[in-house]
Structures are given as C-alpha cells and as structure tokens.
Structure 1
Amino acid sequence: MTFSAPPLPDYARDLGHGVYAIDTGFQRPNFDAAYLVIDAGRAAFIDTGPRFAVPRLLGTLAALGLDAAAVDWVIPTHVHLDHAGGVGTLMRELPHARALVHPRGARHMIDPSALYEGALAVYGAEEMARSYGTLDSIPAERVLNSHDGQRVPLGGRELLIHDAPGHARHHHVIWDPVSRGWFTGDTFGISYREMDTDGRPWIFPTTTPVQFEPEVLRASVERMLSFAPDCVYLTHYSRLGDVATLGAAQLRLLDEVVAMGLRLATVDNRHAALIDGLRQIYLADLRRQGSTLSDAEFQRLMDLDLELNAQGMGVWLDRMQRQARA
C-alpha cells in the first residue's frame, strides 16, 4: 500500500520539512507568500497577506487534513499590510491560536485603526478597498509580544524568534531548525521569480518607508547569515537556497544604494532622482547576472518597488539631515 500526499490547491506548494508556501494572490502571482508550518499535527501561519488571502490560508489547512483547532500560532513578521493585513480576520477563524507579534507592532493588531488610517493616507480609498480591505482587531488577551531569542513550541519542533530591524523597527524573523531556514519577511530582501536568470535568483534590499536604517539592516542580514542557513523563506517571494551568495549580493547592492542616496541628498527633485538612481543600480546588477529582461518588463515588474524604495530613502535622508542639524 502506497501513501499519496493530499492534493494541494494550485496556490499552495509543499516546500518539504512540513513547510508550505501559499500564494496570497496579492497584486500578482508569485508576489506575496504566506507560510504554513506543520509538525506532529500542530500548525502555525507565518505572515498572512491581506485579509482577502484568508480563504486561501484556510483552504490549504483543510487540504492537508487539519481543522482550525490545530493552529497554535499566527506570527506576522511585521505589521505592514501585505504581511499582516489578514491576521485579525484569520484569528477569528482559529479558536485556539495566539498571535505572536513584535512588541512595537502588537498594539496595531489589537487596535488596527491607526494602521489602517496610515495606509489609507498612502494608498487612497480606492486602492485600500481593492488590495487590502478593512482590518479586523484581535482581543488583547490573544496577542503575545515576541522577544529576541524566544523559543516557540510547535509540535515536535521549536521555532526561534530574533529581532530583525532595518526594514522596520517592528520586525522579527523566525528560525526553523528542522529546515534550517529563516522566515525573513522583508529584512532579507526581495526576489521575484520573473527576474530569475537560468534558474539563478536576483535579490535586492528593500528601503521602503518609513523606518529604513541601512546600518541596522546590514546587521540583521549578517546575523541571519551567521546561522549558515540552508534556505530563506521570503515573503516576496518564497523559498530560496544558496543563502550566503544571496546575502552577499544584497549587501553589496545596499552599499551602492546608500552611496547613491547620499550623493543625491540635496539635489532638486530628489524623489525623481532617487527613482532613477535605483533603476540604474538594479538594472546594472541584473545585466551583470546575464538577464535579458527588457527594460519595459523590468519597469512593469518594479514600478511599485522603485516608488516605495525611493520614498523610504527620502525619509531616511531627511532623518539623517535632521540628526546632523541637532
């Protein structure tokens, strides 16, 4: 008698070691991943995507023969809406789960009104309704603050939480000793599958607003690399190996991006100059890797990242200037 694994929905993928990637459907395919980790019949979700992704998360759980009562943890890496917009909605469906949230972000899961209003100011009402929807609150007693070095039991394994600022101060990452992989949120950068060259991924650091801190980000990446991981589980997008090479590549790009930003700190029309500077750095690095992706396709895929990364660099440069005057 042979055992066959249960069929998964077409938006979910078995990555081995009890880890499943779920395409949340946010923006476009292969853009935004949530993860389901299962061990000895117990489960945890790491990142959720926006609230519209919740049926996919629950559908994957059901396809694997587990019900909602099997989920012990919902762990957003940070509270940006493409990672945590669905946490409150998902928690309503999971009677025994607790949300484990960075202490700087936990209050936004208990009362998401300020989080929603901040996103509304950035994206506008139409985009909020299309991509994110409303945010559901979580009762305070179901929210736990994480801490650096925290061990989280899950079935027969123990996940490890590490503080990982640089992209956001309310960011932690999760180490899985079974797969020897990090669930990295945005701290270990972004890598889109459409930009792979001969199976080799291209990765870039994210500088999105409003808490980009390059020196702190470097330290967080180096801390993850010190574990000699076999893989990273990126939210954007999915599992990648050859982590040492990826880490070195994005730290090199980080240095280039920072140097470019400092050169342009006081130019006229700085935001447009930062967008163009990022575009040139990214494209040159892609071409060094042998990519033949057209400039037009690059622009289509990267338009939002260029805009948000330039915004984040502007916030960082303004902060640097204020500190220099103080």
Structure 2
Amino acid sequence: MSPSSQLPPTRDYDHGITCVDTLQERPGLACCYLLQRGDDVAFVEAGTAHGVPRLLALLEARGIARERVRYVIPTHVHLDHAGGAGVLMRELPAAKLVAHPRGARHLIDPSKLIAGAQAVYGTAAVQRMYGEIAPVPESRVIAAEDAARLPLGDAELQFIDSPGHARHHFCVWDPVSRGFFTGDTFGLSYREFDGPGGPFLFPTTTPVQFEPDAWMHTLDRLLSFAPQRMYLTHFGSVENVPQLAQTLRAGIERYRTIAGQLAAAPNRHAQLVAALVADALRELAMLDAPVSEARARKLLAFDMELNAQGLGVWLNGRA
C-alpha cells in the first residue's frame, strides 16, 4: 500500500495545529494532533498501532522529515491514546515520549496495560483493536510533572496534572492557540451530533479511576487559564469553553446521581447502561441533534458500556 493511500482525514486549525483522524473503529471517533512550530513538530496522542502508518503518511505528504518530530505526547496511557506509542516512536528517531509520571512506567513496560486490556476484552479483541503494543526505551521518555514546560519552536507547552478521568492524565496547555489538548478530561463530543443547540458533550468514566470531586477541581484549574478552545481526542476542537465546562460539570453530577440511585439495584450494570443511554438521548433531544435515536444508540453504545463499567468500579470503591 502506498503512503498516499494511507493518508488520514485531517482538519487544519489555526496556529499550526492539525486534527488527524486515526480511524479507530470508525471515522470521527479518535484523533491525534500534529503541531508545527517553526522547525519543531510534535504529536499529541499516539492512537493505536493501526493508526501509525497514517501518521507517517501525513508527515511524508507534508514534506516533514521524521527527524523533525521532537515529541510524542499521549495525554494518558489508556490504549486508545497511547497503545501505538512504542510503534510510533520506533519510526521517529529524534523524538522523546512525554508522559504523565504515573503513566510513564507503563509505556516503558506495557505488560500490565496489555494484561489489563486482555482481562476486559480478551486477547483476540485487544489485538484487533490496538495492534502491537510495544515498549518505549526508558532513555527516550520524559515524565512531565505538574506545571512542567517543554520548548516547541519559539514557544513552549505546559503540562497540567488532570485527575478525574484517570490519575495518569495530564492536559497540555498551548499558549499560542490559547487552547488545551484535553485527552478525555473535557469529555467526549462527536461531531455527528452537532446541531442548532451546539455540541453534545458528555463525561467518559472508563474504568478504573473516575473521581468526580477531583474532576471538578481539574476543571477549575483548566478554566483558570481562560482557554479559548479545547482540543478533544474524541473529537476535534470545541470553543465556547465556559458553557461547555458547565455542561460537563452537570453531566458528571448526573452520572454521580444515576450511579448512587442504582448502587444496590439487581442487574446493576445493565441498569446503569440503560440509564446512561436514556440520559444521553434526553440531552441530544434538548440540543435538537441531527441524528435518529437508532443512530445515536449505535454511536454511543461502546462509550455507554465503558461508562457503566467505570461507574460500577467507582461504586464498588465506595462500598
């Protein structure tokens, strides 16, 4: 297959930022971001190994030598964000991998990440979804502590510890665009749902570290920067940040309430899934989102399954 045939869908934003659809599972589900600042280049997120050829094809198509990529920056070590990091780093000889201190060791030795994913999905499914999950040499890894700064071109990126979705999560502040690369910390928002009422934004409570109080504090910190936009991994750039932050806070509180109400319910997991789907459908109806209920259910099925699992883990931790 020629490099041109692997070119992914992209959207160019201002400030040298490109959203790269890595085509995980379906278009519009997950992206990486290509940052170009002067002679320096970085990828925020690594996606899965299946997407690595697309990222490399994009570099070639834009005339960017692989040696110019200075950083690969997964926001956290969930495999849809970091599973392809080792494979991508093999192809970028000058790059450093920048990771949260709690997550760096799992990218150096991904055996626990692999075992955990296999326990949930099974070995065959993990291979299908993520492909090769390769280690990254420790000498090529930077563990970015809270408030750490790294140069990129004539500017710098700042890393903000961002618990709530996961304890191994940071957000990346880009002062040039006045935006954060938020991973999963600013929720999920698929562009198929955009309509007259604006974006549909909802929390992601993927197992196993949903912490609603910590998440609220993280949102306070992010808003203290007065960001003009958020670059979501799932999916793309959103603006009107203060209003969307309120939407996300409300969603987190509804999730907390739903989980509490169903804590002792029989068939709890199935009831959590049903309640979360119903919550999403109500929100979509209020926004007059341009999708049918059947289409919405299909697009949200995987997320709501994972969200229900995460809320179940959170409930078990409170017991």
The CA distance in 2 between the partners of 1:10 and 1:72, in whole Å, is 21
The answer (yes or no) to whether the contact 2:8–2:20 under 8 Å persists in 1 is no
- Deviation at residue 280 of structure 1 after TM alignment: 1.7
Distance, in Å, in 2 between the alignment partners of 1:109 and 1:173 is 18
Which residue identity is paired with 2:45? D
Deviates more, 1:34-43 or 1:275-284: 275-284
Q: Does the C-alpha gap of structure 1 residues 264 and 52 become closer, same or farther in structure 2, counting only changes over 3 Å?
A: same
Distance 1:308 1:136, change over 3 A: same
RMSD: 1.3
Q: Which of residues 56, 59, 64 is equivalent to 1:58?
A: 56
Aligned-partner SS, 1:104: helix
How far is 1:298 from its partner? 1.3
Distance 2:176 2:72 in 1: 19
Partner of 1:271: 269
Letter in 2 for 1:148: D
For 1:287, the aligned partner's letter is A
In 2 relative to 1, CA 97–202 (structure 1 residues): closer, same or farther, beyond 3 Å?
Answer: same
Q: 1:195–1:291: 8 Å Cα contact kept in structure 2?
A: yes
Shift in Å, 1:187? 0.7
CA shift for structure 1 position 66: 1.3
Establish whether residue 170 from structure 1 lines up as the match of residue 163 from structure 2.
no
What is the match of residue 122 of structure 2?
124
**1:68 matches 2:66:** yes
Structure 1 residue 223: Cα displacement: 1.5
How far is 1:222 from its partner?
Answer: 2.2
Task: Normalising by structure 2, report the TM-score.
Answer: 0.96
Match for 1:11 among 9, 12, 35?
9
Matched residue type, 2:190: Y
Q: Trace 1:104-183 onto structure 2 (pairs within 5 A).
A: 104-183=102-181
Contact 1:116 1:134 in 2 (8 A): no
Q: Which whole-Å CA distance do the structure 2 matches of 1:290 and 1:63 have between them?
A: 39
For 1:9 and 1:306, the matched residues in 2 are separated by 30
Size of the aligned set, in residue pairs, is: 314
Structure 2 Cα separation of the partners of residues 48 and 13 of structure 1: 17
Q: Distance in 1 between matches of 2:245 and 2:165?
A: 15
Q: What's the CA shift string for 1:153-198, capped at 9, x where partnerless? A: 0011111100001111000010000111100000110001111113
Which residue in the other structure is 1:233 paired with?
A: 231
**Cα shift readout 1:113-164 (whole Å, capped 9, x = no counterpart):** 1111111111112222221112111111111111111111001111110000
Q: Spell out the pairing of 1:82-97 with structure 2 (5 A cutoff).
A: 82-97=80-95
* Bigger mean CA deviation after superposition, 205-214 or 120-129: 120-129
* Segments ≥4 residues shifted beyond 4 Å: none
Separation of aligned partners in 2, 1:135 and 1:269: 34
Aligned match for 1:310, one of 301, 305, 308: 308
For 2:261 and 2:292, how far apart are their aligned partners in 1? 28
- Selected match of 1:257 from 255, 258, 262: 255
Match of 1:101 in 2: 99
Deviation at 1:64, TM superposition (A): 2.2
Any conservation in 2 of the 1:182–1:233 contact (CA below 8 Å)?
yes
Q: Which amino acid aligns with 2:167?
A: R
Please give the per-residue CA displacement for 1:278-297, whole angstroms capped at 9, x wherever unaligned.
11211111111123532211
In the superposition, relative to structure 1, how do residues 281 and 199 fare at CA in structure 2: closer, same or farther (>3 Å)? closer
Counterpart Cα distance in 1 of 2:132 and 2:94 = 23
Amino acid in the other structure paired with 2:55? L
**1:76–1:214 CA distance, 2 compared to 1 (3 A):** same
Whether 1:280 and 2:278 are equivalent positions in the alignment is yes
Partner AA of 1:86 in structure 2: G
Aligned to 1:105, the other structure's residue is in SS state: helix
CA distance in structure 1 between the aligned counterparts of 2:188 and 2:8, rounded to whole angstroms? 23
Distance (whole Å) between structure 1 residues aligned to residue 200 and residue 137 of structure 2: 40
Question: Are the counterparts in 2 of residues 197 and 291 from structure 1 also a CA contact under 8 Å?
Answer: yes
* Structure-2 change in CA distance of 1:199 and 1:28 (3 Å): farther
Which residue is equivalent to 1:324? Answer: none
